[in-house]
Amino acid sequence: MRMKKSGLSVLLLLIFAFLILITACEKKSEEDPLQGMSDWIQYGNDKDGSTWSYNRNLSVNKDRENYIVNAWAKRTLSDQGREKAIQELKTVGKYADGFNKLAEDRILNEVDCARQRFRILSVVRYDSDGKILSSQNLNESAWQPAVPKTNGGIFYKKVCPQP
């Protein structure tokens, strides 16, 4: 009799574990398949080893003649890229304390998909601890063509729907 009770207990325990497993699998399949993935998708590299990514969360404004996408790009600086950026900042007189820890730039771009051009709206520079070092609004910057096989051209192809 004791054998039957312990066997029954083991069987009930196995059934309970099986039900928990099925419930967990069902819940997992209902989740967003992109969940857990980074919002940043790498699309390029600079010669200095810095990498470029764009944020998949796009802001799209579409009407009859216009198709405008606002999208963030991120340049994660290599050591060589940081040194180059610091030299450029010193040259234009914008170097400040803390820039020796410069790690990445985040650039908000306005992309005119219909006219194959883009312009920079904002640049935010971060240090290796995630602290903002500088922020600059460039809402009046000039439009630039999305030239194929350049960083801007590749970015354009990533964020604009292709015909």
Domain total of the chain: 2
Same domain, residue pair 6 and 62: no
Looking at the fold, whether 21 and 49 belong to one and the same domain comes out as no
Verify that 18 and 45 share a domain, yes or no.
no
Same-domain check for residues 72 and 135? yes
Which of 26-35, 43-52, 142-151 shows the lowest per-residue confidence on average (mean pLDDT)? Answer: 26-35
Question: Can you tell me the distance from the alpha carbon of 1 to that of 71, in angstroms, rounded to the nearest whole number?
Answer: 70
**Same domain? 53 vs 98:** yes
Gyration radius (Cα) of the chain, Å: 25
Query: Whose CA is closest to 106, among 123, 81, 88, 127?
Result: 123
Least reliable range by pLDDT among 5-14, 17-26, 79-88: 17-26
Same domain? For 12 and 61 the reply is no
From residue 70, give the alpha-carbon distance in Å to each of 2, 9, 21, 60, 147: 70, 60, 42, 7, 18
| 83/58 same-domain check | yes
Task: Please write the tens of the pLDDT for every residue from 68-98.
Answer: 999 999 999 999 999 999 999 999 998 888 8
Look at the pTM and tell me if it is higher than 0.75. Answer: no
Q: Is a pLDDT exceeding 90 seen at residue 3? A: no
Structure tokens that stand for 159 in this block: 């964020």
**In a shared domain, residues 14 and 82:** no
**Are 4 and 64 in the same domain?**
no
Q: Return d(Cα 112, Cα 44) in angstroms, integer.
A: 20
CATH number for the domain that contains residue 84: 2.40.128
> Left, alpha or beta for 42 (phi > 0: left; psi -120 to 50: alpha)?
beta
CA–CA separation, 72 vs 57, rounded Å? 8
**Strand pairing of 102-112 and 59-62?**
unpaired
Residues 18 and 97 in one domain: no
Q: Which domain holds residue 27?
A: 1-31
Same domain (yes/no): 24, 70: no
Structure tokens at 95: 């170097």
Whether residue 154 sits in one domain with residue 129 = yes
State the residue for tokens 């015909």. Answer: 163
Which residues does residue 45 pair with via DSSP β-bridges, in sequence order? Answer: 51
